[in-house]
Chain A
Amino acid sequence: MSRFLLSRLLAVIPVMFGVSVVVFLLMQIAPGDVATALLGPQATEQAKQELRHTLGLDKPLPVQYGRWLARTGEGDLGVSIATQRPVASLVLPRFLNTLLLTVASLFLAILIGYPTGLFAALRAQTVFDRSTTGLTLLLGSTPPFWLGLILVLLFALRLRWLPVSGMYDMAGDGGLADLLRHLILPAVTTALGPAAIITRMVRSSVREALAKPHVRVARAKGLARRTLLRRHVILNALPPVVTITGLQLGYLLGGALLTEVVFDWPGLGSLLYDSITARDLPVVQGTTLLVGLCFVLVNIIVDMLNVVLDPRLQEG
């Protein structure tokens, strides 16, 4: 098994390189001239040429990529045009905030999705099941940013149970309770779409597992209902569910980015948004690279989990 895992890990490296290439190219296609952006439109053409030479922008593309890659590997993600601060110092704290939001959303999505899907599968065709199906369909088609605003309208503005935006209260104590209060709406907003998908996947996977012949054999052994469910249904239903849950992490990352803008959550998403608006390309580049690499890593972890869960995959 370890050989299999190792080979999967190695396969990731070219993908990571590919990610870096894509991010690099992305910045190349951006219109506008870096020199002009840095020096201002009034600058002379000669000054701009000098700056370009200093920055190495007149070298061929592959060389630029190599140099950029080397710098990035050392942790130098460039300097933000807007704030003149190193991109890395801007990105890292935001990264933690986004991580918090993403993990909380994933947690919620699983908390909602797994039991709901399981119950719907065990009580198929009942009112509960049908309404769940309808609800998941609805949630799957809802624009998440709009849903967030509706939740804000309802819970923050009308009912005043929860804060409108931000991560902490400006005048508050900044403690855990405060953080959690602020976390609820953004996390729920981000979680609902993936929760809907997870619910449907769990339901269909459990229904499939229930129909397998070995379930009847287990019943014939006189096993207690709970034991039977645990060992012969849920265990077998897990692999596709885990895969989908892992995939949701990707959507969650994307959804979190949007949600951060809606809720003013100081994470990578709002950073990306601000830097795009300000045309602060180094920041855009650094943020995109970081998120892209994270996503690749998460997929690998999910892959490996899958192998652990299904012994048959271990044979390669």
Chain B
Amino acid sequence: MDATVRVVAAPPQRPRRGWRLAAFVRDRAAVAASVLLGLVVLASIAAPWLSAHGPYEADNLLRYAPPGTPGHLLGTDQQGRDEVARLLWGGRVSLMVGIVPTLCASAIGLALGMLAGMLSGFVDQVIMRTLDVLFAFPIVLFAIAFAGAMTPGIGTEILAITVVLIPYVGRLARTATLGVMAMPFIEAARAAGGSPLAIARRYVFPNVLSPIIVYATTLMGLMIVVGSGLSFLGLGVQPPTADWGAMVADGRVVLRRAPHVTIIPGIAILAVSLAFNFIGDGLRDALDPRTGRRAG
């Protein structure tokens, strides 16, 4: 019996459906971030219509022109290519490298984790030991080594990041699965004659999906940074393809004279990564039934 008296505001009664959406919407940062991210995605897709120039149009006369130069809102890079165009087209690559591997790794990791958690015993041990070994490598190192061993390209980048992420998602999925399996209603379902597949589908999957979604969103933000790191090292797309990480690397040689070439793509990476973070936080607060009310 605690001596302190806690002042608790009674949570308002909410209808069950749409409650999660409402909870998410209350997090203003998450909403703003979603809007931003949506705009970025749309802008990347709509690149050809939004940009006056192509990403490969080099203009030798206008090399590293500063932002504000007529015709080039954000200036040009060291080959005279329009920064805005490079940003928009580069966004396609960078976003893909952040999102696609995370989704793939999440799917695979989810499956592996559920298998390990539900089947236990030998299967569990094998899966977890294998993942443990992959955990032994720092993410960046493994991605670099993996991407370095293969031929550079966007496929390599995506594959490398996917492989690196699987253990992380897998471990989370396994922990969540074990948590669900320990719940009393699983026993009840088994006693009622439910097959493992049905139990997996009806009970385990929906409950494990929530934390995975939150985690994946945060991971996407991180992987945009890691992916751009790989491109920065030249392990991803090759020139002249535009990519935010590669753009930062391009700007390195003209850092003193034309810093905007380096600064601008970095801000893009930062903004998108930050947006994913906020969205992830908002999702976590909305999807976790225990913290259903807005924190702070």
Do any CB atoms of chain A lie under 8 A from CB atoms of chain B in the complex? yes
**Interface 9-mer from A48-56, A168-176, A226-234, A272-280:** A272-280
Is B241 an interface residue when CB atoms closer than 8 A count as contact?
no
**Closest Cβ of chain A: how far from B193's Cβ, in Å?**
39
Which residues does chain B contribute within 8 Å of A251, judged by CB atoms? Answer: 138-140
Which residues does chain A contribute within 8 Å of B266, judged by CB atoms? Answer: 142-143, 146-147, 149-150
Category for how many chain A residues contact B:
35 or more
Instruction: Report the Cα distance A157→B255, complex, angstroms.
Output: 9
Whether A150 contacts B136 in the complex (CB less than 8 A), given A29-B150, A30-B149, comes out as no
Chain A contacts with B in 137-186, Cβ cutoff 8 A: 137-138, 140-147, 149-150, 152-153, 157
| Contact B255–A149 (Cβ < 8 Å) | yes
Is A31 an interface residue when CB atoms closer than 8 A count as contact?
yes
**Closest Cβ of chain A: how far from B133's Cβ, in Å?**
3
* Most-contacted residue by chain A among B129, B149, B265, B266 (CB, 10 A): B149
Whether A276 contacts B235 in the complex (CB less than 8 A), given A22-B137, A153-B255, A257-B140, comes out as yes
**Closest Cβ of chain B: how far from A32's Cβ, in Å?**
8
| Contact B141–A257 (Cβ < 8 Å) | yes
Which residues does chain B contribute within 8 Å of A157, judged by CB atoms? Answer: 255-256
Q: Mark A17-29, 1 if CB is under 8 A from B, else 0.
A: 0110111001101
Is B145 an interface residue when CB atoms closer than 8 A count as contact?
yes
Is the contact region of chain A dominated by helix, strand, or loop, or is it mixed?
helix
Which residues does chain B contribute within 8 Å of A77, judged by CB atoms? Answer: none
Which residues does chain B contribute within 8 Å of A277, judged by CB atoms? Answer: 234
Is A15 an interface residue when CB atoms closer than 8 A count as contact?
yes
Of chain B, the residue at the smallest CB distance from A25 is: B149
Is A258 an interface residue when CB atoms closer than 8 A count as contact?
yes
Instruction: Report the Cα distance A280→B198, complex, angstroms.
Output: 51
Q: B: which residues have CB within 8 A of A?
A: 2, 129-130, 132-134, 136-141, 144-146, 148-151, 221, 225, 228-229, 232-235, 245, 248, 251-252, 255-256, 259, 262-263, 265-266, 269-270, 273-274, 277
